[in-house]
Structure 1
Amino acid sequence: MQLEFFPSRTLTLYLARLFITRVVGVLLMLVLILQMLDLLTESGKILAYQGNGQAQLWTYVTLRAPQLIARFLPYSVLLATILTLFTLNQNSEVISMKAAGLSAHQVLAPLFLTAIVVAVVSFTFNERVVTHATGRLKVWQDASYGPLPQDSGVRSNVYLRDGDNILMAATVTGTGNAMAMQGVSWYRRDAQGMVTEQLRSPHATFSNPGWRLESPVRFDVKSTETEQLDSLVIAKDVEPNQVTISSVDADSQSIFELTRSIADLQAAGRRTTELEGKWWHKISGPLSSVLMPLLGAMAAFGLARSGQVLIRAIIGMALGFTYFVIDNAALAMGNFGGYPPLVAAWAPFLLFAFIGETVLIRTEE
């Protein structure tokens, strides 16, 4: 038996090429099908906004496709693993490699190497493309697919306390003193927490101190009267940095931006368990691609003429999909505080790495 972890250079390149072409093929198939189904669901809402047309449909596709790629890339690696190994087994290529003295780990080594490259590409793609697209898509959806804000730092559904009062904004753009709010609502509350007055404005800017409402409309709850006002300054104790830390969306921030947001929230005494779990999952999520060759390895071994190769492929697929179910469940438990963030993000990965390695050793090594 060879002592090197990888087989020969020729065999490594052959297996890696087979594997990566199937990963790309399966991913394109999944994304195209899911994108068409998703577009059928959302096209009515997009076109319902007056003036929207084909250009807006393409805009939605460009913002939604990165999310689908990021979500289903690990699934594609799993299906590509099973498809590649099943084909190699059916053509007796696995038997030839084992007859040449290669161990099961050496047969799988080129797939692991390719999966590591896929994981690195996935992490980079998530950080540079997916976070930006996710943030813009959420803001566009909150605006009912109206004009898309051009600011990449857009935040949506911001909720702030102004003493006993409440300040809400549909979207917030800009940073520091240049920060602006759109779709603003301000609620004055009495000592019992009952709303006594409401102010609504399409736009508000930071006036240092406070926020200046443009053309606000006042509604008095007691008299049920509505009044149109000139510009008005409210919430003088609310600073732009409070807006920033109150509207942290982990899916829309890169890992470095999320690190700073978590630090700001901790300094303000806010709970950050959910964000910490998502921070760790930004690493463990793309790295799950490395697990897929191990979980799908059952399709590679066992004699094709035994009639059990299909069953072994189904078992490998079931292991992979079970991992994704448990990973999502653990992350949800971490968000609710049931698990520490580190455990929620990494426990499923380590558990299924142990299971996959155990199955591989018990059956083949």
Structure 2
Amino acid sequence: MGNNVMMKILGWMLNRMVAIRFFGILFGISFFVLSLDVLTNAKDLQALRPNDMTILLQYMLYRAPSVLVNYMGISMLLAMLLSLTELSYRNEMAAMWAAGVSPARIIIMLLPLAFVAGGLNFVLSDSAIPATTPQLRDWGIGDYGAEKLKLGEKDPIWMRAGPDILRAGSANGDSTRLNDVIIFRRDDQGLLREQIYAKSAALDEGRWTLTKVLVYYRDNLQPSRLDTLVYSGNMKPAQAGARSGAPEDMALTELFYFMDNQGFGIRPVWVYETWANKRISLFFSGLLMMGLCIPLATRFRRGGGLGALFAVGVGIGFVYFIVDGISLTMGELGFVKPWLAAWLPILAFGSLAVVMTLRSETV
């Protein structure tokens, strides 16, 4: 009983120690980056609301979720290395090894913090970023200037009915009135057989009435001009907040919706499959950083070579982030399977962490 109580106290102390450093580093780096961002774009922000300084704070709050997500992995890595170097410097790590606390046991003790960090990463990516991105795109400031989309009735919108894809230049709020319509009619193999242009379209009792229609056919047949044309396909619209088709700004439910509808013709379906798998893998990002760092501490258990410990840990971490970025890009381009692109870095470096942990058990 006494040993169990001691392990619980030790686990709580380790979680507290790493958590303080993790959140301190995360919020410190994020605040610094956000401050530079606001200062850089202050003139453009003030032009949106002259004499209203609150827009600077609002912009910072809207940008915060994406910045926090970007630096969460490196913050956990640095927090673990700082904690381990401090414990090694005070010979507390050696005392834990002597007491029979193995690296695997330490990783198990830190599981609560690992899943809190992973859950926070997921929530920010899946809820906060999709909620704030429309406003940032509307402002068109900084990174969003080149891809500004005014969300509302002037949005381009994509729809799908079976193999057919529809694009409208603008739509009303509930997507029942469309303007500048193009319908790409495809056969079962996905090959284009007709291309329909219409000035407008209106939904009435499940059928679309197109006006001022021009129809182009496959095999260079003579195009047709019609005043009206009825289209009976059951069109499913892309949600208003996701009309840009940018998967990194979508919630998981929106990613699944785009996957079910073949990406609405905006991007290939495998792009959304890759990001859906990537979103789920975020739960394990914090645990992976812990699994990589803790076995390294066994090599420096008597307080020596702490600089080497920190350097090796940072090196392994940055290699992981590089591989992770390359793998995600490969998945978006369709060079590898979506699940493999999202999970390969986790599986590869997780396997490395397991091997390192098993080897350290003999210490």
The TM-score with structure 2 as length reference comes to: 0.73
Residue 106 of structure 2 is matched in structure 1 by: 107
CA distance in 2, matches of 1:21, 1:257: 34
Instruction: State how 1:241-256 maps to structure 2 within 5 Å.
Output: 241-242=236-237, 244=239, 247-256=244-253
Residue 313 of structure 1 is matched in structure 2 by: 310
**Residue aligned with 1:87, SS:** helix
Larger deviation, residues 306-315 vs 331-340: 306-315
CA distance in 2, matches of 1:279, 1:255: 6
Report if the CA contact (8 A) 1:66-1:130 is conserved: yes
**Residue aligned with 2:261, SS:** helix
Residue 294 of structure 2 is matched in structure 1 by: 297
Residue 35 of structure 1 is matched in structure 2 by: 34
Return closer, same or farther for 1:211/1:17 CA change in 2, 3 Å cut-off: farther
Residue 333 of structure 1 is matched in structure 2 by: 330
**Residue aligned with 2:108, SS:** helix
The answer to whether the aligner puts 1:362 opposite 2:359 as a matched pair is yes
Return closer, same or farther for 1:156/1:354 CA change in 2, 3 Å cut-off: farther
Give how far 1:211 is off: 9.0
CA distance in 1, matches of 2:46, 2:228: 36
AA aligned to 2:323 is I
The answer to whether the aligner puts 1:174 opposite 2:173 as a matched pair is yes
Report if the CA contact (8 A) 2:252-2:276 is conserved: yes
Residue 190 of structure 2 is matched in structure 1 by: none
CA distance in 2, matches of 1:299, 1:29: 26
Give how far 1:160 is off: 8.9
Return closer, same or farther for 1:52/1:168 CA change in 2, 3 Å cut-off: farther
**Residue aligned with 2:41, SS:** helix
Return closer, same or farther for 1:9/1:50 CA change in 2, 3 Å cut-off: closer
The TM-score with structure 1 as length reference comes to: 0.73
AA aligned to 1:41 is T
Report if the CA contact (8 A) 2:85-2:309 is conserved: no
Give how far 1:281 is off: 0.5
**Residue aligned with 2:50, SS:** coil
Report if the CA contact (8 A) 1:26-1:80 is conserved: yes
Report if the CA contact (8 A) 1:176-1:241 is conserved: no
CA distance in 2, matches of 1:284, 1:254: 14
CA distance in 1, matches of 2:50, 2:209: 35
| Root-mean-square deviation (Å) | 4.2
Return closer, same or farther for 1:239/1:44 CA change in 2, 3 Å cut-off: farther
AA aligned to 1:138 is R
Identity %: 23
Report if the CA contact (8 A) 1:20-1:114 is conserved: yes
Aligned residues: 320
Give how far 1:158 is off: 5.0
Return closer, same or farther for 1:185/1:103 CA change in 2, 3 Å cut-off: same
After the TM superposition, which segments of 4 or more aligned residues of structure 1 sit over 6 Å from their partners?
A: 142-145, 148-151, 184-187, 233-240, 266-270
Give how far 1:206 is off: 5.8
Instruction: State how 1:36-185 maps to structure 2 within 5 Å.
Output: 36-49=35-48, 51=50, 53-141=52-140, 168=169, 174-177=173-176
The answer to whether the aligner puts 1:271 opposite 2:248 as a matched pair is no
Return closer, same or farther for 1:68/1:144 CA change in 2, 3 Å cut-off: closer
CA distance in 2, matches of 1:269, 1:47: 34
Report if the CA contact (8 A) 2:158-2:237 is conserved: no
1:128-181 CA-to-partner distances (Å, cap 9, x unmatched) read: 222211233223328969xx9897xx99665799x9x98545xx673343x78x
Question: Structure 1: where are the runs of 5+ without partners?
Answer: 188-198, 213-232
Residue 24 of structure 1 is matched in structure 2 by: 23
Return closer, same or farther for 1:240/1:291 CA change in 2, 3 Å cut-off: same
Question: Structure 2: where are the runs of 5+ without partners?
Answer: 183-198, 212-226
CA distance in 2, matches of 1:139, 1:36: 21
Return closer, same or farther for 1:166/1:27 CA change in 2, 3 Å cut-off: closer
Return closer, same or farther for 1:144/1:359 CA change in 2, 3 Å cut-off: closer
Report if the CA contact (8 A) 1:112-1:290 is conserved: yes
Residue 191 of structure 1 is matched in structure 2 by: none
Report if the CA contact (8 A) 1:49-1:144 is conserved: no
Return closer, same or farther for 1:110/1:7 CA change in 2, 3 Å cut-off: farther
CA distance in 2, matches of 1:251, 1:354: 27
Return closer, same or farther for 1:166/1:305 CA change in 2, 3 Å cut-off: closer
AA aligned to 1:342 is W
**Residue aligned with 2:299, SS:** coil
Larger deviation, residues 25-34 vs 71-80: 71-80
AA aligned to 1:19 is V
Give how far 1:277 is off: 0.1
1:312-364 CA-to-partner distances (Å, cap 9, x unmatched) read: 22111111121111111101011111111000000110000111222333345
Return closer, same or farther for 1:246/1:34 CA change in 2, 3 Å cut-off: closer
Report if the CA contact (8 A) 2:118-2:283 is conserved: yes
Give how far 1:51 is off: 3.4
